[in-house]
Each structure stands twice: as C-alpha cells, then as structure tokens.
C-alpha cells in the first residue's frame, strides 16, 4: 500500500532551515504543512480558511508578513491535521485561482516562528524586490523599480552613495543571480571604485517563495 501513496518532493530547498538535504527530505515526508505562494496582498485569512478547508480540517494558517510594515506580503503556511489532507490540497488547489491569481501550493517542512516574515531587503519577499512588472495585487511595481521611478536611481546605489564621502562617491554595478527560491535566494553585487574592484555579498531572501 505504501507504494500507492508517494510524497511529491518540494520545488525548493530552504537553505535557512538548518537541515541537510536528507534531513529536509525526511521533514517533508512527515510534514502536514503546505506553503502557499503568489497570493494577493489583499487576500484575507478568512478567504484562505474557506478555500483550504475544502480539502480537510485546517489546524492553522500563518499569514506571511512584511518584516517592516507587518502587513501581508503574498504567502502563507497552511497546516492540516493529516498528511492525506495536505496532499489533497497540493493536488487540487495548486494552480487554482484565488482573488484572480493563480496560486502555488507546495510541501513545506513545517512552520517555525520567524518564517512568517519576508526575507527581502525592503521587508517583503525577494521576488518583489526585483520585479519590474506592475502587479496591483502585490503592491504595484517591485520595490527596486518603485524607488527608481520615485528617485531616479536604484535603492542600493542610493544608499551607498549617501554613505560614501562626498568627494569619493563609488559607482555600483549590480549583478543579481537568477536562482530565486521560495524561502530565499542569494544576491551578489560587484563594486568598482577608482579602478579597484571588490565584492560583497548580501543576505538571503521567504517560498515562496514561491
């Protein structure tokens, strides 16, 4: 009978989980928690309960919050009482529409305090830092794009210029790795100043993510 019931593996590995890949896989196999991404910032907890309870009894829902504003930022964790109900959630609700958005449901290793906050530099999710499209359901433009529109310069360049001595303002050249994952993605930047180059690394991003 066990061969008839398989656990689909998640689309990401949370590097901040503190687990090895094998430990992460075991946690997924026993988890009853689902990560939900691509939500509208305006979707309410009541809407989530109504939708996800169609697959079984929901133990709790934890809304993803902007780390600074403490407002919803487009993801949540849904914990069921049974593994089968969580599997049905991923099977039937993943890819369906909620508030006119195609949402993503994926296995999660289990909610821990602190994971409800976005990991982006501006407080939300990393995917919303660098998003260049206009998405009214997720606050309009991405944080970087919004700063460029309002101030004419990228946010990180502006912060660095303000911190540098007036007579020696460095020019920054941003390079972002396209390896975004739901729980977080790493970003790197290269810096050129007076013919010398150096490198520094930022902290990671959620799952989302997705």
pLDDT 10s digit of each residue in the chain, 210 long?
434 344 555 556 788 888 888 898 999 999 999 999 999 999 999 999 999 999 999 999 999 999 999 999 999 999 999 999 999 999 999 999 999 999 999 999 999 999 999 988 889 898 888 888 888 999 888 877 777 777 765 554 545 444 444 444 444 444 443 344 444 444 444 444 444 444 333 444 444 454
53, burial (CB in 10 Å: exposed 0-12, middle 13-18, buried 19+): middle
Entry pTM: 0.65
Q: Which helix (H) or strand (E) holds 172?
A: strand 171-175
Give the Å distances, CA to CA, from 170 to 166, 190, 192, 203.
10, 12, 7, 21
Calculate the CA dihedral of residues 161, 206, 61, 9 and round it to 10 degrees: 170
Residue 152: the pLDDT is: 67
Q: Which helix (H) or strand (E) holds 174?
A: strand 171-175
Distance CA(77)–CA(65), nearest Å, equals 11
Angle at 103 between CA 135 and CA 122, to 5 degrees: 50
Q: How far is CA 108 from the centre of its chain?
A: 13
Q: Which long-range contacts (CB under 8 A, 24 or more apart) does 91-95 make?
A: 92/54, 92/55, 93/51, 93/52, 93/54, 93/55
Distance CA(3)–CA(149), nearest Å, equals 54
**Beta strand 171-175 with 188-193: parallel, antiparallel or unpaired?**
antiparallel
Which string of DSSP letters, residue by residue, matches 8-52? PPPS---GGG---HHHHHHHHHH--EEEEES--TT--HHHHHHHH
Give the Å distances, CA to CA, from 171 to 144, 153, 163, 196.
17, 12, 12, 11
């Amino acid at each position: 009978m066990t061969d008839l019931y398989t656990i689909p593996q998640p689309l990401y590995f949370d590097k901040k989980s503190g687990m090895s890949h094998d430990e992460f896989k075991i946690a997924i196999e026993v988890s009853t928690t689902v990560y939900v991404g691509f939500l509208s910032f305006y979707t309410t907890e009541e809407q989530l309960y109504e939708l996800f309870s169609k697959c079984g009894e929901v133990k709790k829902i934890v809304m993803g919050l902007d780390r600074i504003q403490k407002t919803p930022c487009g993801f949540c964790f849904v914990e069921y009482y049974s593994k089968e109900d969580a599997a049905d959630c991923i099977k039937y609700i993943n890819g369906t529409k909620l508030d006119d958005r195609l949402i993503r449901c994926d296995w999660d290793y289990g909610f821990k305090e602190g994971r409800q906050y976005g990991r982006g530099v501006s407080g939300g999710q990393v995917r919303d830092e660098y998003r260049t499209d206009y998405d009214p359901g997720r606050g309009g433009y991405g944080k970087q794009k919004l700063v460029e529109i309002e101030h004419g310069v990228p946010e990180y360049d502006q912060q660095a210029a303000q911190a540098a001595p007036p007579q020696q303002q460095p020019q920054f050249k941003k390079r972002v790795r396209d390896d975004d994952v739901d729980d977080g993605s790493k970003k790197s930047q290269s810096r050129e100043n007076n013919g010398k180059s150096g490198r520094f690394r930022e902290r990671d991003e959620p799952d989302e993510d997705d």
